[in-house]
Amino acid sequence: MKKMRLLSLILVFTMAVNLFAGCTKADEDNSSQTTVDNGEATTETENGQETEDTSGKKYDGVTLKWAVTETGASTGENVELIEKIKEDLGINIEFTIVPTPKDGEIDRTLVSLMAGDELDIVYSATPSLKIYQSAGVLTPLDELAENMGYDMKEVFGENLPVFDGAVYGLPAYSDIWLTFYNKKVFDDAGVPYPEAEGWTWEKYIETAEKLTDIENGVWGSYMLDYNNYYYMYATQKGADAYKADGTANFDDPLYSEALKFFADLGNEKEIQPTMGMLAAGEYPWNAFAASDNIGMFVCGGWVTSLLKNHEKYPREWKAGILPMPYPEGSEASTLVVNGNYAIPTTSANKEAAFEAVKYMAENQYELGYGRVPARVNLSDEEITRYIEEELGADFVDDGITVEDFRAGWFDAERIPYPEKIIGTADTSINQIWFEEAQEYGLGIKPLEETMQSIQERSNRAIEEAKQ
Partner 1 sequence: MEIRSKKITKVILTVVMIMIGIGSIFPFVFMILSAFKVESEVLQASFKLWPSEWILDNIKALFVSDYYDFMQWYRNTIIMTGTSLLLKFFFVSYTAYGFSKIKFKGRDLIFMILLAALMIPSDIMILPRYIIFKKIGILNTMWAIILPSLVDVYFVFLLRQAFISIPESLSEAARIDGCGHFRIYFKIIMPLAKPSVATMMLFSFVWIWNDYMSPYLYISDVSKQMLSVGIQLFATGQVLNYGVLMAGATLVLLPVIVIFIFAQNYFVEGVAASGVKG
Partner 2 sequence: MKRRQLMETLTGYMFIVPYILLFTIFTGIPFVIAMGLSFVNVKYITKLDNIQFVGLENFVRFFSDPDALAALERTAIYSLIYVPLIMIIGFVLAVILNKGVFFKKSLRSMVFLPYVSNMVAVAVVFRLLLGARGPVVGLLLKLGVENPPILLTDAKLVLPTVVAIAVWKSVGLNMIVYLAALQGVPKALNEAARIDGATRFQQIIHVTLPVVSPTTFFLSISSLITSLQNFTVIQSLTQGGPGQATTVMSINIVRTAFTRFDTSYASAQAMVMFAVVMLITLVQWRGQKKWVTY
Residue 383 is a binding residue for partner 2 (CB under 8 A):
no
Q: Which is nearer to partner 1, 71 or 293 (CB)?
A: 71
Residue 439 is a binding residue for partner 2 (CB under 8 A):
yes
Residue 428 is a binding residue for partner 2 (CB under 8 A):
yes
Distance, CA of 298 to CA of 113 (rounded, Å): 33
Q: Given candidates 39, 56, 116, 246, which one binds partner 2 under the rule CB under 8 A?
A: 116
Stretch that binds partner 2, among 67-75, 98-106, 161-169, 410-418 (CB under 8 A): 98-106
Residue 276 is a binding residue for partner 2 (CB under 8 A):
yes
Distance, CA of 324 to CA of 177 (rounded, Å): 6
* Residue 109 interface partner, choices partner 1, partner 2, none, CB cut-off 5-8 Å depending on type: partner 1
* Residue 276 interface partner, choices partner 2, partner 1, none, CB cut-off 5-8 Å depending on type: partner 2
Q: Smallest gap, in angstroms, from Cβ of residue 279 to partner 2?
A: 5
* Residue 282 interface partner, choices partner 2, partner 1, none, CB cut-off 5-8 Å depending on type: partner 2
Q: Smallest gap, in angstroms, from Cβ of residue 438 to partner 2?
A: 4
* Residue 435 interface partner, choices partner 1, partner 2, none, CB cut-off 5-8 Å depending on type: partner 2
Residue 21 is a binding residue for partner 2 (CB under 8 A):
no
Distance, CA of 351 to CA of 354 (rounded, Å): 5
Q: Phi first, then psi: what are they for 373, rounded to 5°?
A: -65, 145
Residue 105 is a binding residue for partner 2 (CB under 8 A):
yes
3-class SS of residue 120: coil
Number of Cβ within a 10 Å radius of residue 291: 17
* Residue 135 interface partner, choices partner 1, partner 2, none, CB cut-off 5-8 Å depending on type: partner 2
Angle at 126 between CA 152 and CA 305, to 5 degrees: 95
Residue 7 is a binding residue for partner 2 (CB under 8 A):
no
Q: Smallest gap, in angstroms, from Cβ of residue 284 to partner 1?
A: 5
Distance, CA of 262 to CA of 229 (rounded, Å): 7
Q: Given candidates 73, 189, 218, 279, which one binds partner 2 under the rule CB under 8 A?
A: 279
* Residue 457 interface partner, choices partner 1, partner 2, none, CB cut-off 5-8 Å depending on type: partner 2
Q: Which is nearer to partner 1, 9 or 393 (CB)?
A: 9
Residue 10 is a binding residue for partner 2 (CB under 8 A):
no
Q: Which of 43, 96, 45 is nearest to 73 (CA)?
A: 96
Q: Smallest gap, in angstroms, from Cβ of residue 132 to partner 2?
A: 10
* Residue 17 interface partner, choices partner 2, partner 1, none, CB cut-off 5-8 Å depending on type: none
Number of Cβ within a 10 Å radius of residue 93: 22
Distance, CA of 276 to CA of 261 (rounded, Å): 16
Q: Which is nearer to partner 2, 304 or 438 (CB)?
A: 438
* Residue 21 interface partner, choices partner 2, partner 1, none, CB cut-off 5-8 Å depending on type: none
Q: Please return the burial class of 177, using the count of CB atoms within 10 Å of its CB with bins 0-12, 13-18 and 19+.
A: buried
Q: Phi first, then psi: what are they for 164, rounded to 5°?
A: 50, 35
Distance, CA of 245 to CA of 465 (rounded, Å): 15
Label each residue of 368-430 as H, E or C.
Answer: CCCCEECCCCCCHHHHHHHHHHHHHHHCCCCCCCHHHHHHHHCCCCCEEEECCCCCCCHHHHH
Q: Which of 378, 223, 382, 397 is nearest to 295 (CA)?
A: 223
* Residue 287 interface partner, choices partner 2, partner 1, none, CB cut-off 5-8 Å depending on type: partner 1
Q: Smallest gap, in angstroms, from Cβ of residue 464 to partner 1?
A: 19
Q: Which of 422, 423, 266 is nearest to 335 (CA)?
A: 422
Give the binding site for partner 1 (CB under 8 A). Answer: 1, 3-5, 7-8, 11, 15, 19, 22-24, 26-27, 30, 70-71, 74, 96-100, 102, 106, 108-109, 111-112, 115-117, 281, 284, 286-287, 290, 312
> How many residues interact with partner 2 (rule CB under 8 A)?
37
In the chain, count of helices (H) and strands (E)? 20, 13
Q: Smallest gap, in angstroms, from Cβ of residue 355 to partner 1?
A: 26
Q: Phi first, then psi: what are they for 6, rounded to 5°?
A: -60, -45
3-class SS of residue 412: coil
Helices 2-50 and 350-363 cross at an angle (nearest 10°) of 60
3-class SS of residue 348: coil
Say which residues have a Cβ less than 8 Å from residue 333's Cβ, sequence separation at least 6: 236, 324, 326, 414, 415, 416, 417
Residue 111 is a binding residue for partner 2 (CB under 8 A):
yes
Residues of this chain that interact with partner 2 (CB under 8 A) are: 5, 8-9, 12, 15-16, 19, 104-107, 111, 114-116, 134-136, 276-277, 279-282, 427-428, 431, 435-436, 438-439, 442-445, 457, 460
